[in-house]
Structure 1
């Protein structure tokens, strides 16, 4: 039997302006290409799953610690 995989598509227009600003403030000097992932994590109160050490270290240095650790 196969494990099921559930994917949910979220419209980025549902992310509030305040959350976009917060995410940009966090990533602007790390990697702005990650702003959507960080914004979505904040908006959904989720955990960010990334292997990007630079992003993780940079976010941790700013007090962001909502990471998924398998």
Structure 2
């Protein structure tokens, strides 16, 4: 018995794409940094911390530097 059979997990391996697009590390880091505030927000909501409860005073989820936040 295979692991997938034991777990009751079925999938069609032929449906998985064989060629996956690759991007430069710079592009990947750029996209990650653009999505980071959303990741933080989603995690805080899942933990029950709505709004800015879990963030340091004076920072909002979209701030990248403290000095930028103070200008808002």
Normalised to the residue count of structure 1, the TM-score between the two structures is: 0.24
State which structure, 1 or 2, has the greater radius of gyration over its C-alpha atoms: 2
Higher relative contact order (CA 8 A, sep 6+): 1
Normalised to the residue count of structure 2, the TM-score between the two structures is: 0.24
